[in-house]
Structure 1
């Protein structure tokens, strides 16, 4: 079972149902007096697709908490075009499988009759869901994947008109990584030799095509270890390539389960002892991943698409980023996650588009509202009128570093070390060189 319908209600999400086997999310039945307040046809059905089980399930850890906040904020419905609508969420789990993602998205469209689809976090989740929505003529909004991997990765061509009518994506870009990294890496003295570990997938291919030339233009010598398949268990060849090249910076974009395998092997073969900067993306984004690595995680640098220090407010909930982070920790007992703000931003943009449409039951009107949407979210301003290409809006990215912290609530803390792309986000600590043992 991977579907639950959730209607707005005054009650909070049931505790303990959680993200258990199959990634099932707790459901709430609205009391009769709430249901009777809305006439038939006055309910907006929103499909929400995420990888709630499987190797990408860490990206769904904040889903239950965020949905509880949205539920509370939308109690009594949402007013659009002078009419009040109830909101019903239909959740689907991709099981971290693109084929399943396409299947459940089609179910949302054909069986659940949703008015709009939301999805997020990696092209493996977003692209098949967006393709199904495009084919089904249903508006879709997504976030948390390089926009190039979603736009060009689904068949759009540079300089050509957009082939997409129904699907919209807001996120950082592959070129943003290069800008953040060039700034972040300049804070430590190195030989400027960079080894990149990029898989043969939509993320890796987009990063390879865009980030490597940008880093070379910024004065770095880049050694690409070559495309590899996700799930690789022996990184000896890649490690040897980096050792032979004498790299002092390693930059990786692996599938989350693959990074610990690579990094432990790098320590066994002496690469981790030579590296001054270990930069990760896609993997190493969440504190529990660093806890598993222990000392090997101390000093790992990362890019952050959301941080508790972001100076933005969620219009749906009225909460600041620090309030969202604190609330997550209080509700779950777990360290705050980048996904708290990212998933809240997805709701902020979705509700903003529905309100702007004037009629949330008119799919063409909702798609038109997405195309002209400009709204503040928990991750900053989302402006689809500004590009960088049609159907896409750019959001910010900051440089960060994981540091072990004695006496803290959790073993690792994520410090902001570069704000070149989002100057309003404060620097919380200087970047430290990676040192093992």
Structure 2
């Protein structure tokens, strides 16, 4: 089979509830399209184009988007990020069609176990880079211990869907790692998302004497909880929140600016990395994004850039560009320094996963922006120096 022009496809939530998450990947494709126009493989130059399709934040539409990229655009690699239902839909469709896929911004346990995977039987076509639920627990417990004694109870505000089920799973990462640090986790059970009231959960937390809350709630649900907690006399000193609160809070449901919300940080302008494509630094990428869009930088921005880096690297190093399996094998052996940090698929927790380290951050009233993300702990990546101390709500 002859090799024609190459294509990297991306399934992006341009529209729908995940559109804010998809905006960085859309921006990165538009930014790189004029310059990432070819790859060199075994001394031969091959034309390359980048193509995107809108998932509309819907799993069914995401599956159709993969088919379009593979069947119409002839994509050799498909990229995607985020969405507890959309990302697995993209990856599973790539697995069914036999096309390499690289994804990110999703804890690896959710990526593997949420798709019914088994680390002893690796996926054949789909690859992922991110962090684990245990890594989130490490960052959060470090912040809990700065806030309260080692044995202080921590209230778990977790939904009854995939994020909540994985967080409370006895073996898959967060729960055993947090319990090992000596904190007593108070879990009243999962709530349905979106929530209408948190009064029973607040009563439970009050009775347990919790001053720390950990959650993966949407920003609207967390705003509702925070407002009702204050009304019922519960004033958490610290809230650690993953998932949606890794992005700047824009909710109209309530003011979270004084809630002391801390979160995980997987990428920031302060990270000391460079792109393998062009040497771009995180600081420069964030600045260009803000100048071009008028929007505040988002953590997925650096990971979106790294997605393209991994795809280009795979196409540059595959033994046979006419064989998609050869491209997938190139991803499986990838060890690459990217703008998101070093990615190594040869030493991950499963054969399909590369890890990136987490540090701790906290949302503060900002200068250039209404809220800004300060780095407050960096034990697992000391090269990222904190620029603020962890603050607690009063």
Give the TM-score normalised by structure 2.
0.92
CA distance in 2: counterparts of 1:255 and 1:149, whole angstroms:
17
Structure-2 residue corresponding to 1:415: 374
CA distance in 2: counterparts of 1:366 and 1:227, whole angstroms:
41
CA distance in 2: counterparts of 1:237 and 1:354, whole angstroms:
53
Structure-2 residue corresponding to 1:345: 306
Structure-2 residue corresponding to 1:48: 10
CA distance in 2: counterparts of 1:321 and 1:248, whole angstroms:
35
What secondary structure sits across from 1:337 in the alignment? coil
Answer yes or no: is 1:320 the counterpart of 2:288: no
Answer yes or no: is 1:248 the counterpart of 2:207: no
Structure-2 residue corresponding to 1:29: none
CA distance in 1: counterparts of 2:98 and 2:73, whole angstroms:
14
Answer yes or no: is 1:142 the counterpart of 2:137: no
Does the CA contact (< 8 Å) of 2:237 and 2:260 recur in 1? no
Query: Number of residue pairs matched?
Result: 389
Answer yes or no: is 1:66 the counterpart of 2:28: yes
Structure-2 residue corresponding to 1:232: 195
CA distance in 2: counterparts of 1:358 and 1:291, whole angstroms:
52
Runs of 5+ in structure 2 lacking a partner? none
What secondary structure sits across from 2:159 in the alignment? coil
Cα deviation digits, residues 329-386 of structure 1 (max 9, x gap) = 1112222111211211111112112212144342011010011011011111110000
CA distance in 2: counterparts of 1:244 and 1:187, whole angstroms:
23
Answer yes or no: is 1:167 the counterpart of 2:126: yes
CA distance in 2: counterparts of 1:250 and 1:201, whole angstroms:
19
| Distance 1:113-1:257 versus aligned 2 partners, 3 A rule | farther
The Cα shift of 1:151 comes to 0.9
- Name whichever of 88-97 and 246-255 sits farther off: 88-97
| Distance 1:111-1:424 versus aligned 2 partners, 3 A rule | same
What secondary structure sits across from 1:432 in the alignment? coil
Structure-2 residue corresponding to 1:192: 152
The Cα shift of 1:140 comes to 0.5
CA distance in 1: counterparts of 2:220 and 2:66, whole angstroms:
25
Equivalence map 1:60-139=2 (5 Å)? 60-75=22-37, 77-139=38-100
Does the CA contact (< 8 Å) of 2:223 and 2:256 recur in 1? no
The Cα shift of 1:50 comes to 2.4
Answer yes or no: is 1:398 the counterpart of 2:347: no
CA distance in 2: counterparts of 1:288 and 1:49, whole angstroms:
25
CA distance in 1: counterparts of 2:139 and 2:283, whole angstroms:
23
Structure-1 residue corresponding to 2:136: 177
The Cα shift of 1:393 comes to 1.0
Structure-2 residue corresponding to 1:425: 384
Structure-1 residue corresponding to 2:184: 221
What secondary structure sits across from 1:278 in the alignment? strand
The Cα shift of 1:317 comes to 3.2
| Distance 1:225-1:94 versus aligned 2 partners, 3 A rule | farther
What secondary structure sits across from 2:202 in the alignment? helix
- RMSD of aligned alpha carbons: 2.1
CA distance in 1: counterparts of 2:341 and 2:220, whole angstroms:
30
CA distance in 2: counterparts of 1:290 and 1:72, whole angstroms:
35
The Cα shift of 1:247 comes to 1.0
CA distance in 1: counterparts of 2:258 and 2:155, whole angstroms:
18
What secondary structure sits across from 2:33 in the alignment? helix
Answer yes or no: is 1:264 the counterpart of 2:227: yes
CA distance in 2: counterparts of 1:300 and 1:139, whole angstroms:
37
Does the CA contact (< 8 Å) of 1:73 and 1:317 recur in 2? no
The Cα shift of 1:44 comes to 1.3
